[in-house]
Amino acid sequence: MSASVPTREVARRVFAAEFNDATYTFKESDDERAPVYSLLPTGQRANRVFIVGTLTETEDVGDESEYWRGRIVDPTGTFFTYAGQYQPEATSVLRETETPAYVAVVGKPRSYETEEGDVNVSLRPESITIVDDDTRDRWVVETAGRTIDRIERFEEAHEYAAMAETQYGSDLSAYRDHVISALEELEAANDVPVEA
């Protein structure tokens, strides 16, 4: 296999609360086709993410052509995803799905600065799939575990943790709290003990 063949980045599991705080982006080379990474506050780079949540609202916000916005809620907050003519399958899911529905989304983080100077983060979907509640519950448990792993590795001060500390600070207690509350909410909803 030649070295020039691009490989797909791993899709990181991340809760909405952390995803929305990941306002810093970077490239690791000057190549114009180099991937753009979003830096998660827990010290992991993410070119793609995998989320599961409740699609609560869809709206065509396009002017000239269809451009759909989806609002997806997980136990920690809200993701916004936008799909248009370049994401035809995702666009049709947003157009045709009756809300509320559980959905799984693989996509790329996108950030943009508002006129007020705030940075908003959204998700450009590669795929959106309707899923069942078991899939959603499994995602919550697995994402909780991955988040705790990142928090525990943060103190090793590896390259991305150091970068995250510079950009966001080193207090990760809010993300640990989100993990705990997500698991507690899941346990209460299912009346079954859940372990991260």
Q: Render pLDDT for 103-145 as a digit per residue (tens, 0 to 9).
A: 999 999 999 888 898 999 999 999 999 999 999 999 999 999 9
Q: What is the spatial distance between Cα 131 and Cα 122, in angstroms, rounded to a whole number?
A: 21
Share of the chain above pLDDT 70, in %: 94
Q: What is the mean pLDDT of the chain?
A: 93
Predicted local confidence at residue 1, as pLDDT: 43
Could you give the 3-state DSSP secondary structure of residue 22?
A: coil
Domain boundaries, the chain: 11-190
- Whole-model pTM: value is 0.91
Percent composition of the chain: helix, strand, coil (DSSP 3-state, to 5): 35, 35, 35
Q: What is the spatial distance between Cα 192 and Cα 190, in angstroms, rounded to a whole number?
A: 5
3 pLDDT above the threshold of 90: no
Question: Which CATH number does the domain 11-190 belong to among 3.10.150.10, 2.40.50.140, 3.50.50.60, 3.40.140.10?
Answer: 2.40.50.140
